[in-house]
Amino acid sequence: MAKDYYQILGVSHDATESEIKKAYRSLAKKYHPDVNKSPEAEDKFKDINEAYEVLSDAQKRQNYDTYGSADEQMQGNPFSGGGDFTEFFNDFFGGMHNQRQYEHYSDKVTISFLDSVRGTSRKYDYFSKQKCEVCKGNKAFLGDAKYVVVCGACRGTGQERVRKQSLFGIFDSTRPCSQCEGHGKVISKKCKECKGEGYKSQKKTVTVPIPAGIFDKQVLSFWDKSGLVDVKISLKIKVEESEIFERKKADDLNIYTRIYINPFTAIFGGVAEIPTPKGIKTIKIPEGTNSGDKLKLRGEGITVNRNSGDLIGEVKFTTYPKLTKEQKEILKSLSGQETSETTKWIAKAKKIIS
């Protein structure tokens, strides 16, 4: 499993650069081998430095948030084993790849808690530079090659000579021609449709699949290489809080909720209703259940790559139901029977107080 650099430094996923630096300095000072002589200090110190090296570098941090690794060559689905997710982007865009020059769209997408559990999709609009249909990308009027002529400044070489004065004398060097930008040719009459750019910006819409199990602040990234310039799109997922369910950690597939029962069900046992992402189900309440106890429904949590978490419900007592006269009499007969825990607690208190 990949290291959680945010957890190592004890910062949140949206921590600022200054917060990361402050956490690093504090931990590095605490676990430096020259100061901390504990056996695990050296390994801890290495992890701290490794985490800071990644999170303090904007590009490495973005790669880590996207792919779970700071390696710039990492490609593919941020969810390991998510074949369907990767295939979608390969089919739609013809495969993913990295290039140094590209346009980058970054945006936020908000989804509900249940959508993060079940998986969903969102439409996203962006612009891509597509080859001009009139000039076919050569930038000349009606695409006619006769308007693409040799650059008079560099005589078609694409280079221009530059003479520079330095402490060591005069040096001659070359650089891309400022007139033709290194192409060796210029356009004598530009295409009217694209104004000599060779492309038109076209609006595109893609349906982005958001896999089940995605967590808050996770980033989905993909490429579109269909245009003249590659486009990278990074979508940061915002998962809304739920009034019913909770997810404790990003790598935790368990879902947490509450089970409300009256005290008599807790005493004698029974069944109670519990909300799940798939609907309302029932759960067995053992005899003698206490408020705060946690009961589990196996396999009813989040499912990722055929691994399923559990639904864990914390027991909460409701108010007492309305009782008949006979029921009250029965309860009165039990009211004076304290448990052994009560007896031990009072005895201990008397010893301390006296």
Q: What is the 3-state secondary structure (H, E, C) of the chain?
A: CCCCHHHHHCCCCCCCHHHHHHHHHHHHHHHCCCCCCCCCHHHHHHHHHHHHHHHCCHHHHHHHHHHCCCCCCCCCCCCCCCHHHHHHHHHHHCCCCCCCCCEEEEEEEEECHHHHHHCEEEEEEEEEEEECCCCCCCCEHHHCHHHEEECCCCCCCCEEEEEEEECCEEEEEEEECCCCCCCCEEECCECCCCCCCCEEEEEEEEEEEECCCCCCCCEEEEEECCCCCCEEEEEEEEECCCCCCECCCCCCCCEEEEEEECHHHHHHCEEEEEEECCEEEEEEECCCCCCCCEEEECCCCCEECCEECCEEEEEEECCCCCCCHHHHHHHHHHCCCCCHHHHHHHHHHHHHHC
* 154 annotated to bind ligand: yes
Work out the average pLDDT over 128-138: 88
* 269 annotated to bind ligand: no
Split at pLDDT 50, 70, 90, the class of 166 is low
* 177 annotated to bind ligand: yes
* 224 annotated to bind ligand: no
Domains in the chain: boundaries: 1-74, 141-187, 255-342
Give yes or no for residue 341 having a pLDDT over 90: no
* 245 annotated to bind ligand: no
* 253 annotated to bind ligand: no
* 65 annotated to bind ligand: no
Q: Looking at the domain 255-342, which fold is it?
A: HSP40/DNAj peptide-binding domain (2.60.260)
pLDDT in tens, 222-261: 888 888 888 888 999 999 999 999 999 888 899 999 999 9
* 132 annotated to bind ligand: yes
Give yes or no for residue 90 having a pLDDT over 60: no
**Which CATH architecture is the domain 1-74 placed in?**
Orthogonal Bundle (1.10)
